[in-house]
Chain A
Amino acid sequence: MSEHEIELVPATQYTVRELVDLYNQTRVDYLVPMPMNANRLQEYINDFDVSLEHSFVARDEEHVYGLGMLGLRAERAWITRLGVLPISRRKGIGGKLMSRMLEAAEALGKPQTILEVIKDNTPAHNLFTKLGFKPVRNYTILRRAPFPPKENALGRPTWLDHWDILDCLAQGSYQSWVNAPESMANGKNLLGFRLKVPGLGKGWVALRIKVFSLTHLILHVEEGDPVEVGTQLLRHLHHHFPRQDTYAENIEVDDPLMAAFQRLEYFEVFQRIELVRENHVPLNK
């Protein structure tokens, strides 16, 4: 494969099925197993405002070698699902894809581009640092197997409708791209409830529910000790959904609620680092 033959074409030239097949091949040896099928990738594109027009596939006349996807929102762009086939790495393809997406983000007037990289993915981290990205947050990804909590929960939750949940999310703290209010609004099956326990405090939970799992879990404590109120929120949640596997993604590692998650037997699966780049800074070519 000659580097000069590689071209980058918009991902719109491929079907979602073709893109997911390529994506899965680029991640076959990845640090964290995260394959997708076409339905999941389509959902991903919809939920996270991925623009296939500004996402790119690296190819030559015979083969495809990698891809990268660009999410677009009002003030920011988000690079995601970057991957190059294992046998085609260390040939500059990842860098080309990144540069192309950063150019697109700047041309669209986005002041910042963000992305997340798995901790210990040194080659990717080095690439992003070379392109001017700087670390801003450390996230943990937590899992909890489906079983009811040992203890009962205090208080009685008040279930929220879709719009109440979006109001809560708009007033909550900073969230990563996948948990941002826009993502939650785009997604299906949004659930949430408020809880007020006299003498303890109050807070709310928002999440998405699927047949087998709870995802995009966001906890917010408005009054009271975060650990105590967070514990009650999670107890209510898991008493109500004892058979769902739970995936809490992109919780900041120093979040005061971490002890509440640990009490409910969540465990860490891996960590990510959020990186930010100011798009007005010229790319080194």
Chain B
Amino acid sequence: MYKILLVEDYEDNANLIRRILTAHDYEFYWASDAQTGYDMALEIMPDFILLDLGLPDMDGQTLSCWLREVPSLKTVPIVAYTAWQKEVALRMVDAYCLDDYLGKPVEMKTLLAKIREYLI
């Protein structure tokens, strides 16, 4: 079963994504801030990370760079989940070692399709 880590501070969003992903047999983990996300990633070694860029303790893109410094997380797909406009989101993806992004609000079928792109 693939492990998916969501780092997102807004609980309602997290609960919605939890319901969808667990219904599709993903093992779901949630961290509500960047520091917890970092600790959890090291502990569980997720197969996929969905990362909100607007987190209360540090920006998600900053966390992304720190995650990439962990050898075992270097190749884990990290997809940004963000309300930034497309042009800015793409710059963030390019600059901050992210693999891709999803714009908020995201449709669940779009989210599932994106996960399947990386977890075959």
**Contact yes or no, B57 A34, CB < 8 A:** no
Q: Measured between C-beta atoms, what is the minimum distance from A194 to chain B in Å? A: 28
**Contact yes or no, A212 B62, CB < 8 A:** yes
Cβ of A269: which chain B residues have Cβ within 8 Å of it?
84, 88, 91
Within 8 A of B (CB), among A1-58: 20, 24, 28-37, 39-40
Report which of B10, B54, B92, B96 forms a contact with A34, defined as CB distance below 8 A.
B54
Q: Which residue of chain B has the shortest Cβ distance to A143 in the bound complex?
A: B95
**Contact yes or no, B65 A40, CB < 8 A:** no
Q: Report the tally of A-B residue pairs with Cβ distances under 8 A.
A: 56
For the complex, is B112 an interface residue (Cβ under 8 Å from A)?
A: no
**Contact yes or no, B57 A213, CB < 8 A:** no
Cβ of B92: which chain A residues have Cβ within 8 Å of it?
143
A221 to B105, CA, bound (A): 43
For the complex, is B83 an interface residue (Cβ under 8 Å from A)?
A: yes
Q: Which residue of chain B has the shortest Cβ distance to A213 in the bound complex?
A: B62
For the complex, is B39 an interface residue (Cβ under 8 Å from A)?
A: no
- Size class of the contact patch on chain A: 20 to 34
Report which of A31, A32, A39, A145 forms a contact with B57, defined as CB distance below 8 A.
A39
**Contact yes or no, B56 A37, CB < 8 A:** yes
Cβ of B99: which chain A residues have Cβ within 8 Å of it?
none
A146 to B65, CA, bound (A): 7
For the complex, is B31 an interface residue (Cβ under 8 Å from A)?
A: no
Assuming the A-B contacts A33-B54, A33-B82, A35-B54, are A245 and B91 also in contact, with contact meaning beta carbons closer than 8 angstroms in the complex?
no
For the complex, is A241 an interface residue (Cβ under 8 Å from B)?
A: no
**Contact yes or no, B88 A245, CB < 8 A:** no
- Size class of the contact patch on chain B: 20 to 34
Q: Measured between C-beta atoms, what is the minimum distance from A141 to chain B in Å? A: 10
Report which of A29, A34, A213, A267 forms a contact with B58, defined as CB distance below 8 A.
A213
* Chain A interface SS verdict (over half): loop
A37 to B33, CA, bound (A): 9
Q: Measured between C-beta atoms, what is the minimum distance from B105 to chain A in Å? A: 9
A245 to B56, CA, bound (A): 16
**Contact yes or no, B54 A145, CB < 8 A:** no
Q: Which residue of chain B has the shortest Cβ distance to A245 in the bound complex?
A: B62
**Contact yes or no, A24 B56, CB < 8 A:** yes
Cβ of A270: which chain B residues have Cβ within 8 Å of it?
88
Within 8 A of A (CB), among B71-110: 82-84, 88, 91-92, 95-97
Residues 198-229 of chain A, each 1 if its beta carbon lies under 8 Å from chain B, else 0: 00000000000000110000000000000000
A34 to B96, CA, bound (A): 18
A267 to B62, CA, bound (A): 15
Assuming the A-B contacts A39-B57, A245-B59, A245-B61, are A33 and B84 also in contact, with contact meaning beta carbons closer than 8 angstroms in the complex?
yes
**Contact yes or no, A36 B62, CB < 8 A:** no
Assuming the A-B contacts A39-B57, A40-B56, are A33 and B62 also in contact, with contact meaning beta carbons closer than 8 angstroms in the complex?
no
A28 to B52, CA, bound (A): 13
Chain A contacts to B: CB under 8 angstroms: 20, 24, 28-37, 39-40, 143-146, 212-213, 243, 245, 265, 267, 269-270
Chain B contacts to A: CB under 8 angstroms: 9-10, 33, 52-59, 61-62, 65-66, 69, 82-84, 88, 91-92, 95-97
| A/B interface sample: 9 pairs, CB < 8 A | A28-B10, A31-B83, A33-B52, A33-B83, A33-B84, A143-B95, A144-B95, A145-B65, A212-B66
Beyond the given pairs A24-B56, A29-B83, A245-B65, 19 more chain A to chain B contacts, judged by CB atoms under 8 angstroms and listed by A's residue number, are: A24-B9, A30-B83, A33-B52, A33-B83, A35-B9, A35-B54, A36-B56, A39-B57, A143-B61, A145-B61, A145-B96, A146-B62, A212-B58, A243-B65, A245-B59, A245-B62, A265-B95, A267-B91, A269-B88
